[in-house]
Chain A
Amino acid sequence: MIKQIFSLASVVAALTAGTILAPSFELNVGVKQSAAEVQVKARDLSLVCPGGVYQSGGSSGTKLGSFVQIGSPLISSAYSQAGSTELVSNDGVYTVKDSTGDAQQGSTLLNVNQIQLANTSTISGLAAAACQRPSSEMWINGGDTTTGHEALLILRNAGATDATVDLEIFSEGGSVDAPGLKGIAVSADQSIVLPLAGLIPKTATFTTHISAHGGAIAAWVQQRVVHGLAAAGVDFISPSPDASVDAVVPGVFIRGSALVTKLVKSDASYGDLRPTLRIFVPGTKSATFTAQIMGATAETFGTVIHEEVPGGTVVDFKLTGLVDGDYVALIDSDQPVIASVRLSRVVASRTPDFTWLSAAEGFNNARMISIPAPGISKICIYDKTTGKVSVEKLTGGSDYGFTAGDSVRYATVIVDVDGAVANIPVLDQKNAGGKVSVTVR
């Protein structure tokens, strides 16, 4: 009996040990197909411009819900005429027709931007924008709908299929729940203008997330400011790059800081002329960030902000104590954030103006940007590898090129026309193409 029990225990122990200690193996029957690389022609590169600035109230300025474009922007573009390509433009839409698909897409093939100096009783200032490759999703980190501030969301569908747009708006309190955020129809080859005050009234700080379905769209926020009865600046706020843990905002050129201080002392409503850093945290976790506002020279010392922003919210931080000079905002965060800087320009000869600087894309490839002919244009470049900030005055009407290199650079062009300011981001827009991996399964 004991012998039988012992035998049984031995067999059970051997089976258990075999089950636990036996090496795992995988048996494949048949052959799994591997991905094949297919060379495919990319969709033709098309860049869409916003056109002239929008005036609320129609041409008379008194018609509710009516928006008309006033004036014509100055378009600056560079097209390389590569291979058998052909540039076609129609109503602010620039398309490179490439029958063979051989041309390498990007800013070296085509880049387009526009500037417009508005000087009416209700709109005053310089508005500039890089013309966009339409896409399905974008974040615009800027805007203000408090008294005296107007934010218009411009949605342009330059494609042949109708698009439906859903909006998500985040304020200091988190996601905003308002009727009319979902299912906004933008017909093919049409633009629509939405006054954001109708969705988030009297909100100083917000970020807009735009998702398009059905067709791709281009989007901007046109921000306009009025102090009392005087127009005090206009700008197109462009979409930001993806959220990042190390965002860089080049081109923080502080001018007329003494004049701003004087104006704020006389009237607190001029407080929005102070440079402001806006941080949005798209995730659910709080982000602790350090923003170093670094000067380009030894004379411009800069400042440092170390703060925490709850997830899903957006917060503005005043950049105080900055003397006139050229700066770059370097944001280092433990969670991905979207950063932008509002920059004002105050001169004695005209009403104030401002521009919203989005964080720049880091790049090490060859890029090109067209420089507008009027005014003074300067490019601000931050080299991540060397940590150096360089500012260069550019020749109006020329094209500025970056060669491919090892170092990652961030760059923005600041344009000043008669004391009004605007910015043009250095982008490299292209459609998916080239080699596509396809698995037949």
Chain B
Amino acid sequence: MSLDDLSNNYLFALDSLESNKTAELSALVANLASANGTELAQALKLAQVGYILVPASSGSAVAELAIGLNSIKELEGVGSTEFGQLWRVVNPATDLPAVDETKFWSVTKGIQFAVLLVFILLALPTGSTRKRTAGASEIFVEAGEE
């Protein structure tokens, strides 16, 4: 289970990701998996990666990957966790940019607002309902007078 299976917002955000950023991230992942000695410090900083988790799994492929990550000088092993093996980036990016809060609208907010608007419209009293309510009241008054 990954984040794009859980969050539609994340899925839309991925779709709008610039293709060059995806390519940079893909190249970084490929170099990490290959453990080919390529200098990765700058790429890890640009991608703002602080930790790498290899999900717990048996098999030689995962063991080979773990051995490869151990040989990368930009990473240091943290150890095994209940979710898998964890590595820490030795010199991670510290000057992370602030989250962009300028975008007021999002898809979720739009849907929420639309639903709210529909409920408000449904709750508005119309002329016919007022008339029906008045008629019922008169009948009730007459019944009480008897």
Seen from chain A, the residues whose Cβ lies within 8 Å of a Cβ on chain B are 29-33, 36, 38, 40-44, 101, 135-137, 159-161, 163, 211-216, 431-433, 436, 438, 440-441
Residue B27 CB within 8 A of the other chain: yes
Residue B94 CB within 8 A of the other chain: no
Most buried by B among A30, A135, A216: A30
Q: Which of A32, A41, A163, A213 contacts B38 (CB 8 A)?
A: A41
Segment at the A interface, from B59-67, B96-104, B127-135: B59-67
Minimal beta-carbon separation of A127 from chain B (angstroms):
27
Minimal beta-carbon separation of A387 from chain B (angstroms):
32
B14 contacts across to A, CB distance below 8 A: 30-31, 33, 440-441
Residue B120 CB within 8 A of the other chain: no
Residue B52 CB within 8 A of the other chain: no
Q: Which of A42, A137, A440 contacts B60 (CB 8 A)?
A: A137
Q: Which of B15, B26, B34, B67 contacts A215 (CB 8 A)?
A: B67
A101 to B38, CA, bound (A): 11
Are B17 and A159 closer than 8 Å at their CB atoms?
no
Residue B78 CB within 8 A of the other chain: no
Seen from chain B, the residues whose Cβ lies within 8 Å of a Cβ on chain A are 2-4, 8, 11-12, 14-15, 17, 22-23, 25-27, 29-31, 33-38, 60, 63-64, 66-68, 70-71, 77
Minimal beta-carbon separation of B22 from chain A (angstroms):
5
Q: Which of A29, A135, A159, A436 contacts B8 (CB 8 A)?
A: A29
A148 to B23, CA, bound (A): 61
- Tell me the interface secondary structure of chain B in the complex: helix
Are B70 and A433 closer than 8 Å at their CB atoms?
no
Are A36 and B23 closer than 8 Å at their CB atoms?
yes
Minimal beta-carbon separation of A320 from chain B (angstroms):
37
Q: Which of A33, A137, A159, A432 contacts B71 (CB 8 A)?
A: A159
Are A36 and B26 closer than 8 Å at their CB atoms?
yes
Are A136 and B67 closer than 8 Å at their CB atoms?
yes
Q: Which 7 A-B pairs have the closest CB atoms?
A: A30-B11, A136-B63, A40-B30, A438-B26, A38-B30, A436-B30, A137-B60
Residue in A closest to B27 when the chains form the complex, CB atoms? A38
Residue in A closest to B3 when the chains form the complex, CB atoms? A441
Cβ contacts A to B, 14 pairs, < 8 Å? A30-B12, A31-B14, A36-B22, A40-B30, A41-B31, A41-B36, A41-B38, A43-B68, A215-B70, A431-B36, A436-B34, A438-B25, A438-B29, A441-B3
